[in-house]
Structure 1
Amino acid sequence: MAIERVISGMRPTGNLHLGHFNGVLKNWINLQHEFECLFFVADWHALTTHYDSPEIIEENVWEMVVDWIAAGVDPATATIFIQSKVPEHAELHTLLSMITPLGWLERVPTYKDQQEKLSSKDLSTYGFLGYPLLQSADILIYKATQVPVGEDQIPHIEFTREIARRFNHLYGKETGFVEKAEEAIKKLGSKKSSLYMEMKTAYQENGDQEALDSAQVLIEEHQGLSLGDKERLLGFLEGGGKMILVEPEYKLAPASKMIGLDGQKMSKSYNNTIALRESPESVEKKIKTMPTDPARIRRNDPGNPNHCPVWQLHQVYSSDEVKAWVETGCKEAKIGCIECKQPVIDAINKELKPIQERAFHYIEDPDLVKNIVAEGCEKAKKLARETMREVREAMGLNY
């Protein structure tokens, strides 16, 4: 099988909050221990909606990277970089735009949704229409096999798969492809050559997925094949041409249970967030002023936790024992709302303390962050350049 590579990006919108931490960063932190991971600051994507206020992007870039590292994204394990520092993204985006039907872009569900949500901005721009294609370039340039997304982003990955398929169909048929693939088969040796052909037949004639998986492993583990030969054999296996761009799979991110201070989804646009660098005093003040069950006007009025936003925070931060105490205490009016909120305050401050301590270290020495990002950009560029070399060659642009 091809190396499992995960890519994910985040637009630089400023300091991150608990919604980002529970919804994205915890997932990244787990993935970095399982796969080769690349995490990037999507600063070009930020321009699709903030093209009229670019001055906020630079500051947000560094603040966000500090939050990532402080939260536990490990630069020794994952590659952290900035999208605009790897200009190959833009080159691939341009080349893919030559083959992308306009209708494919217009039917991406988030295109109309975002225009309606951000109706105060003029989003009738080419950049906004084309942002799903830029997103595809971000993924395809690293031959990523998996992309962690929420359910609403699944259509973007399907779109990316279609783009990769279209590109491979148009440009994967190199001159003499079959002859070159047959020569590569001989390099496997007689026993493995026969095995490869058996598995190829089993997959192409009977749709045997297990045979496809086994053949992919056989190709990847063979030491005597060049990268070009491996790609020819992978393409030949699936009945196409040379596999230039990899079709990624989506990896559904665990749904975030994080709600904001007002009971809605935690979001800066609702002004209901707790930032990762929020002071303990501010956390306490914000939680203590959260609305509760409107039926509990007085201390001795019984309530229903399901009608209270604080109960949703208990689902994330409290043990079963504390939740049982809250449920009984609320329904039977044995505890007041301030008492109910205290375990949440304590748990959030406990979670944020080590993050803030690590963040302080990087805030005090900004060069540390810039060096991490510079190193990550170089690693990303190396991978991106290799893909672009293959893309240019396939499109006849290597003169």
Structure 2
Amino acid sequence: MRPTGKLHLGHYHGVLKNWVQLQHEYDCFFFVADWHALTTEYENTAIIANNVWEMVIDWLAAGVNPGSAKIFIQSRVPEHAELHLLLGMMAPLGWLERVPTYKDQQERLKEKDLATYGFLGYPLLQSADILIYKAGLVPVGEDQVAHVELTREVARRFNHLYGREPGFEDKAAAAVKKMGKKNAKLYDELRKKFQEKGDDEALQTARALLEAQQNITLSDKERLFGYLEGGGRIILPEPQPLLTQASKMPGLDGQKMSKSYGNTIALREDPAEVEKKLRTMPTDPARVRRTDPGDPDKCPVWQLHQVYSTDDVKAWVQEGCRSAGIGCLECKQPVIDQVIREQAPMRERAEEFVNNPNLVRKVVNEGTEQAREVARKTLEEVRQSMGLEYR
């Protein structure tokens, strides 16, 4: 996530709730993309450092747990930059120019000079961010799927160029034997079915067979993945997008919650300020007087009820609004109560880190070391495959 400062409830419902769940299901890497922030904010870097720490506190407040996931800052892991440089040597320029967001962003942010090398290359830096950890899944919204697809193409091209190690076929055949007679025979049969008949089911079965192998090294396993598909050794596995639902969190004016619209509620905003913002929200313009009936479908408050309220409360709102049985302030109160209730544990968790900044830095330092350990291994393998290991 780019460090844009304090997060709001749109970030929580669109991203952070998902991260909190994923950290218990996968080995997760969550990092502050401070280098990515430079692609559009290179003229205004004074705000980045403070934004980084505020955002990390918001992550921790939302329930992202450093004991379950690795939390770090992108620029503290220089391996990202080295892999980006190496990938840049073999990534065709046309691949970057055709990324959908490249021209879209330039059009949308006309006030900024984005005709820079960094802005053109940021999707490739994203690819390095993903590939340095050999990520299997990348949680993204639909608008980011094209970036994951570019990463897959980059990995495919890299493996094609550098995966053909000397004696690859002999090493692969030797690795098959290490699987044991029964598994080796099954692997050979599945490989033949896929390569001769294009049997996708055989391919999936063979991949599952390899994943389950405990008696072969990681290098041999990656070698056999490449051998299976008729290629070389897979050095950088191709990631898959893990689609996340678009945030349905509306802002105070009924539009999508966004800082650019000025319609947000911060993740850990003061309860009095939250109440003030919600009480002054616009409602159905047809309800001029308390006795005028209204239409919830034309009221921004109803959108918040759809996020926060039970079926019983929603039925009460529909009936009370349309019959003028309840006023707008009465209608808003259940939403006010639920938002403040949702934020309470976040404010409580955040307090410990706000009062002790060294604790936040400790979390980041530990996460950075864990991330670098993984990144170094990948980079060592990448250098070796490109002939850049000088021994």
**Residues in 1 aligned to 2:194 and 2:22: alpha-carbon distance in whole angstroms:** 30
Deviation (angstroms), 1:294: 1.0
What is residue 167 of structure 2 aligned with on the other side?
176
For residues 15-42 of structure 1, the C-alpha deviation after alignment (integer angstroms, 9 at most, x for no partner) is 0100000000000011111111110000
What is residue 43 of structure 2 aligned with on the other side?
52
Counting only pairs closer than 5 Å after superposition, residues 312-351 of structure 1 correspond to structure 2 as 312-351=303-342
**Residues in 1 aligned to 2:238 and 2:183: alpha-carbon distance in whole angstroms:** 26
DSSP 3-state at the match of 1:147: strand
Q: 1:379 aligns with which of 365, 370, 382?
A: 370
**Residues in 2 aligned to 1:387 and 1:35: alpha-carbon distance in whole angstroms:** 19
DSSP 3-state at the match of 1:116: helix
What is residue 64 of structure 1 aligned with on the other side?
55
What is residue 388 of structure 1 aligned with on the other side?
379
**Residues in 1 aligned to 2:212 and 2:286: alpha-carbon distance in whole angstroms:** 65
DSSP 3-state at the match of 2:148: helix
What TM-score does the superposition give when structure 2 sets the normalisation length? Answer: 0.98
Deviation (angstroms), 1:224: 2.6
DSSP 3-state at the match of 2:326: coil
Q: 1:197 aligns with which of 188, 209, 222?
A: 188
Whether 2:220 is the aligned partner of 1:214: answer no
Deviation (angstroms), 1:187: 1.4
For residues 147-186 of structure 1, the C-alpha deviation after alignment (integer angstroms, 9 at most, x for no partner) is 1111111111111111111111111111111111111112
Q: When the two structures are aligned, how many residues end up with a matched partner?
A: 390
Query: Percent of aligned positions with the same letter in both sequences?
Result: 67
Whether 2:354 is the aligned partner of 1:363: answer yes
Whether 2:153 is the aligned partner of 1:162: answer yes
More displaced stretch, 190-199 vs 347-356: 190-199
Deviation (angstroms), 1:239: 1.4
For structure 1, the residue ranges without an aligned partner over 5 or more in a row are 1-9
What is residue 147 of structure 1 aligned with on the other side?
138
For structure 2, the residue ranges without an aligned partner over 5 or more in a row are none
DSSP 3-state at the match of 1:321: helix
Q: Which amino acid aligns with 2:127?
A: S
What is residue 280 of structure 2 aligned with on the other side?
289
CA-based RMSD of the aligned residues comes to 1.0
What is residue 95 of structure 1 aligned with on the other side?
86
Deviation (angstroms), 1:201: 1.5
DSSP 3-state at the match of 1:386: helix
Q: Which amino acid aligns with 2:229?
A: E
For the Cα contact (< 8 Å) 1:165–1:247, is it kept in 2? yes
For the Cα contact (< 8 Å) 1:39–1:78, is it kept in 2? yes
**Residues in 2 aligned to 1:331 and 1:296: alpha-carbon distance in whole angstroms:** 10
**Residues in 2 aligned to 1:136 and 1:201: alpha-carbon distance in whole angstroms:** 32
Deviation (angstroms), 1:289: 1.1
DSSP 3-state at the match of 2:71: strand
**Residues in 2 aligned to 1:223 and 1:301: alpha-carbon distance in whole angstroms:** 71
DSSP 3-state at the match of 1:199: helix
Deviation (angstroms), 1:95: 0.6
Q: Which amino acid aligns with 1:129?
A: L
**Residues in 2 aligned to 1:47 and 1:351: alpha-carbon distance in whole angstroms:** 33
**Residues in 2 aligned to 1:294 and 1:100: alpha-carbon distance in whole angstroms:** 54
DSSP 3-state at the match of 1:276: coil
**Residues in 1 aligned to 2:299 and 2:265: alpha-carbon distance in whole angstroms:** 18
